[in-house]
Amino acid sequence: MADNADHIDGDDNEDVRAQQNLIKIKLKSSEGGIYECGLTAAKMSDLVKNMVESLGTDAVVTTEPIILGNEAVTDAALKKIIEWVEFHWDDPPVDHDFEDEKDRRNEELSHWDKQFIDVDDQALLFDVIAAANYMDIKGLVEVGAKHICSKIRGKSCQEVREMLKITNDFTAEEEDAIHKENAWIYAKD
Amino acid sequence: MAKQMKHLKTSLETTDDGNEDIKQQPQIYAKDSFDGFGDDLCGLIVSYLSFEDRFRLECVSKQFQRTVFGSVVNLTIDHLFFSHYKAVNSAKSQMLATIAIKCSNIESIDCYAMQDKHIPEVLAVFRDKCLQICGTLWREFGLEFVQQFAPLMTRINSMDKQQIPSLIHCHRLSELSVDSLSDIFDTTSGQLLAKNLKTFSFHCYKTSDEGLMSAFVDQNQSLECLHVYMYSGSHETRQQLCQQLSQLPHLRDLLLYLRVGNGDNSLAESLRTIGENCKQLKQLSLMLSSVNKKLDSKTLDALPSYPRLRRLTLSHHFGHKFMKPLKRCKGLTHLTLYSMKLSDTLLANCDKQWPRLQYLRINCMAGNGFTFSSKSLGHISRLSALQTLLLGYGVGIDLNDNALKDLLTGMSKLKRIEVNGVKVSIGLPSK
């Protein structure tokens, strides 16, 4: 494990990653749009990474584009996703030897990410998140999740429903009962 | 994911004869509705909510109710926990029961600074699960309590001396902080009571601890993290300590607080020994307090040869010469410098010498006179991987806010900047 980690963040490997990102592969959205993306960047998606590994890099580069069939992978969402991975492909890997997971969860987004994810079109935002989840790009799902949570932090249930267009499927009685169970949280200073 | 697919692949077939059929059809969700997300993704998103917000937002929808608590695996209870929520005595157990039922994945409880009278109450509620407890072994805990809960304790952050014998019941203990090394040896038999630890922290006041250290090292070969605060001792004692701890093959994280004596240059040798033996060492914190400030300028020379050193913390009035070897620690991702006499020379070309630096913290002692010029900030702004930049107390910055922001705006991966404890926001204006 340790040997492996050391190998991954070694200088040589960084050069290889940079070299590989010069290789362009094609990704096809569910709407049919075809977009180019650097290989290293594209492999931030575990879905793409697995496909590339099973098909072989040469095949992926020379043949048909990789088809991303999920409905959420629209042209617009795929363009956003490629923009994100092209910016983040050279991020340092997470060092699992340190217990930073908790800190990382609480970390704010970088201003680039904040600006990237702050899209006015909520349909596009949700497509990007769902598509990133489908493509298994954990870092981007996290960016989307943090963005949504920062928007609903401290809001009332009704405000959250309106903001995220969520249907309230509780009856008034059910809602009252939950309020009673959680009464202590509202009694806060 | 599968669920989500089902939601998305909706059927348009509906029948005219009654609502019943329509209800049974999978629904079509508006593209901008959160309702379109499956439970897995919803759970992932709401996992970034605070503990409090989870309870407040439980009744947003049934999907929220199903997914909002699943990611709570740890509960932190400090001395404010009950008073914070104004839970009166009668409501406490109700509140705990609610938490235990809803957050059914809680597997560890951190009982920091908790008033001891509440601990049994809390633990009783969560006892049936596979729990890990972190906290303090208070003097007041009776034998019955200790026998019941000590086997669950994985981390002990402080301990009354009266509880030393209880350590024998802590079979799962992996992290331990004690005042003195002698605290983990049975007072009568002299038997070592803490074995196979991963993390250990102790203070070293007297030289009689030497024999104890070698016994500890022998039976804690698994140790990964060690913090030693050594307040006295000759440099021979210190060398011996370093020699012994370098016998820990898995050591990854080492903190040494040392008092460095007059004209003593043995530290360089100790640091070389550690580097040669502890091949796994990734994090080193050196806190040196010295009687006279003339420390051998070769003290840090061994650092560049540490094969895996990634995170370095230095605290001392090192002069410029001492810091030179740092320029060759190319693998550093985290660097913290306290009370330094800094010069621009250390930071010149920092993007070349530390290309992977993610975290940089510089604190100077007040009156040390170091001022960040636009030149030194210019050097820092070329650290393209930097995510956290903390310029601490005593650091002067001769730039106005806008010039600072301009300089740092180019560092697009920065997540956190603080200057003298004040957060600097460099984000572009929100829409």
Q: Which is higher by pLDDT, B126 or B222?
A: B222
How do residues B265-315 score in pLDDT, each as one tens digit? Answer: 678 889 999 999 999 999 999 998 766 556 777 888 999 999 999 999 998
Domains of chain A, with CATH numbers?
2-153 (3.30.710.10)
Mean predicted confidence (pLDDT) in B362-380: 71
- Report pLDDT for B48: 96
Q: Give percent of chain B with pLDDT exceeding 90.
A: 34
Instruction: Answer whether A185 sits within 8 Å of B52, measured CB to CB.
Output: yes
Region B348-356: mean pLDDT is 90
A146 class by beta-carbon count within 10 Å (0-12 exposed, 13-18 middle, 19+ buried): buried
Residue B427 has pLDDT above 70, yes or no: no
Q: Taking a contact as any Cβ pair under 8 Å apart, which residues of chain A between 50 and 79 contact chain B? A: 70-72
Whether the CB of B412 is below 8 Å from some CB of chain A: the reply is: yes
Q: Which of B87, B308, B413 sits opposite A112 (nearest CB)?
A: B413
Q: For residues A37 and A27, is the Cβ–Cβ distance under 8 A?
A: yes
ipTM of the complex: 0.91
pLDDT of residue A172: 95
- Predicted confidence band at B251 (pLDDT cuts at 50, 70, 90)? very high
pLDDT at B264: 64
Residue range A34-93, pLDDT digits in tens: 999 999 999 999 999 999 988 887 777 777 899 999 999 999 999 999 999 999 998 888
CB contact under 8 A, B61 and A182: no
Q: Which residues 119-158 of B have a C-beta within 8 angstroms of A?
A: none
How many C-beta atoms surround the C-beta of residue B248 within 10 A? 24
- Among A2, A111, A141, the residue with its CB nearest the CB of B427 is A111
Confidence at residue B277, expressed as pLDDT on a 0 to 100 scale: 94
Encode burial over B341-371: b for 16+ CB neighbours within 10 A, e otherwise: bbeeebbeebbebbbbbbbbbbbbeeebebe
pLDDT band at B54 (very low <50, low <70, confident <90, very high): very high
State chain B's mean pLDDT as an integer: 81
Q: What does the pLDDT look like over B5-45, one tens digit per residue? A: 434 333 333 344 444 444 445 567 888 999 999 999 999 99
